Structure 1
């Protein structure tokens, strides 16, 4: 069933995307810097603004999640007692289980006003606030998978480092962290893939203004947010705008597929066998 479902999804995306490219030039779609599908006169279907918006959110999320996630994993693996670990682990699991729509409203009604008190020029819809919240959302994934990778490092390596006079911090950063690199990098890549595909947070808090720039203080639109916008009824069945959601969805599918394949490659290529 899993294989048949995957094949069905891929074929649906491919066939509908082909219909879209019979109406819009693939070169315009790939290299165009304007995305105005609802324009009455000359609609523009250049996907670069949507890709840039997606990369803004992902970049901010990575800057937030990777340091905190890896630091949490190091603490749980090397410093925390069993009692502390039993307390923190469920909290991370609860954080991972919060619905993304709740994260979206949290970004819009709490994080954005706090950021506006620091940066007055920040718009109500912006890339910074949802990027930070997406980063918070993917922290449990990085922390949990990285901690599993660190825990799998044999204790003999730690004991050997301690016998040579290393401190606990030196053991964590110079012995355990390098030994668990493959698992940590794989968890980070998977988290990035999750951030790229995030929908509800960016739909609620990021806005719907695609732009080919790197400004994080104004309204943006990501690939997933555009799909949500169109599927709420803004376009009729069979129109070019309708088929554009499949082209955008296929592009998003390629992004996430590449990230997952990269995670698998890194995990296999750099895995340490003990």
Structure 2
């Protein structure tokens, strides 16, 4: 049966525990809720949490660990020489999972029976059989792959039964415990409040754990990459020329041209977005009438809702040809519509609402008393803005610029359509270049071998971007603390 049914059973049992525990507690008080330690609602929530949370936690943990258990269960059918090679092992395990899913799909589609699959051999047309079920394989199935796939299906069926039994047993025990302690004197409110506190802590920990998981996943794969490719060549080489002719393949995977393109395009984007966005924020918060502000601010914020692919098409069709015909070609700087300037200008337009909206809110948050004090000392409106309001709002403005910089560094579609895919070092803003994010996508697109340096380099690129973003955060924090001390 589908796992979603088990989720539904746990949920329904939890709701039943709520009703039963509440009714049992009220009955033990003779219907007089005034003599109960906790309100009936808390007794109901006690039944809900005690019955549902342990079973739900076991189910989630089981679903997370099940793939690991399946992989360990089928390695006995794979030759040792294959398991010793990390790259070959990952490819074979991927084939085993694909064939196992295909066998399940074949049974579900009615093109095969369990008895027929048990008698199936590698010499039979396994690929044709799975093709009838809508599962495509790139090559013929090896005998040990077919055997491992059958073992995986059998193990998965056994683990599924064990999971159902274990979860239902824990669910029943939890419901029994909840009903046993549902009486008038039980301190249900204390238990529920502690349970809710645990849930709040768990929710607050999700962001931290997610960040740790992301960094750990990138870090492990990056270490694997540097075990196959020298770090000195990655960080200091000025050539980016990956080859997928084989593992190692004579590839040159230097990050320098990718970093240069990323920083160059981001710099041009911020050169457009920060002045325009900040001046727009100053006008909206200090000079615009209420009527003008009510119209202009939503119009500016519309830019933030436009999909980046639309900006990319705008760069490809309009901005690129315009810059090429009006500036680059007449000055002899280039003949390509895809360039750093194209992507930077369009990306800067996209970032304007990030800077203007956040800066506008931050400037409006500056206490009016600071403005009044400046005016009382004889300062003009312009002097008040320059010497009082902007310094006071500087921490928030730095945060807005940081958000815009992070968005610029991580942008992909505008760069793909506006700047091209050429990894090169050049100061000419009218030449085509590319960024780290574009190459991450290109290295992970298609039929990739996740044990080859040409694919693992994507994780090293991602970790490098993470470190750069972290550096920007540290720098922004230093600036904020340095200038904030003047206004405490």
Q: Distance in 1 between matches of 2:363 and 2:258?
A: 37
Query: Over aligned residues, Cα RMSD in angstroms?
Result: 1.9
Instruction: Report whether the alignment pairs 1:137 with 2:342.
Output: no
The aligned residue for residue 267 of structure 2 is 59
* 1:187 and 1:263 in contact (8 A); partners too: no
Aligned to 2:375, what secondary structure does the other structure show?
A: helix
Paired residue for 2:446, among 233, 240, 264?
A: 233
After superposition, the C-alpha distances for 1:188-240 in whole angstroms (9 at most, x for unaligned) are 12211211111111122111110122221111110001112222217433221
Contact 1:101 1:200 in 2 (8 A): yes
2:303 corresponds, among 65, 87, 95, to 95
Which of these residues, 395, 406, 424, is aligned with residue 193 of structure 1? 406
Length-normalised TM-score, structure 2: 0.53
Contact between 1:190 and 1:259, CA under 8 Å: does it hold in 2?
A: no
What corresponds to 2:4 in structure 1?
none
Q: Indicate the residue corresponding to 2:424 in structure 1.
A: 211
Structure 1 range deviating more: 34-43 or 145-154: 34-43
Aligned pair in 2 of structure 1 residues 167, 234: CA closer, same or farther (>3 Å)?
farther
**Which stretch shows the higher mean deviation, 249-258 or 261-270?**
261-270
Q: In structure 1, what is the Cα distance between the partners aligned to 2:285 and 2:484?
A: 18
Structure 1 runs of 4+ aligned residues shifted over 4 Å read none
Shift of 1:262: 3.1
**Cα distance in 2 between the residues matched to 1:21 and 1:243:** 9
The 1-side partners of 2:319 and 2:371 are apart by: 41
Tell me, in whole angstroms, the C-alpha distance in 2 between the residues paired with 1:4 and 1:182.
27
Instruction: State how far apart, in whole Å, the 1-side matches of 2:470 and 2:313 are.
Output: 29
Are the aligned partners of 1:209 and 1:220 in contact in 2 as well (CA < 8 Å)? yes
SS in structure 2 opposite 1:270?
helix
CA spacing shift, 1:231–1:268, aligned 2, 3 Å: same
Higher RCO (C-alpha under 8 Å, 6+ residues apart)? 1
Structure 2 residue aligned with 1:82? 290
Give the conservation status (yes or no) of the 8 Å contact 1:193–1:260: no
Query: Cα offset for 1:7?
Result: 1.8
**Are 2:70 and 1:70 aligned?**
no
1:111 corresponds, among 311, 319, 335, to: 319
Q: CA deviation at 1:183?
A: 1.6
Deviation at 1:268, TM superposition (A): 4.4
C-alpha deviation, 1:39, in angstroms: 7.5
TM-score of the pair, normalised by structure 1: 0.93
- The question of whether the paired residues in 1 share the 8 Å contact of 2:244 and 2:454 is answered with no
What residue number does 1:9 align with?
Answer: 214
| 3-state SS, counterpart of residue 271 of structure 1 | helix
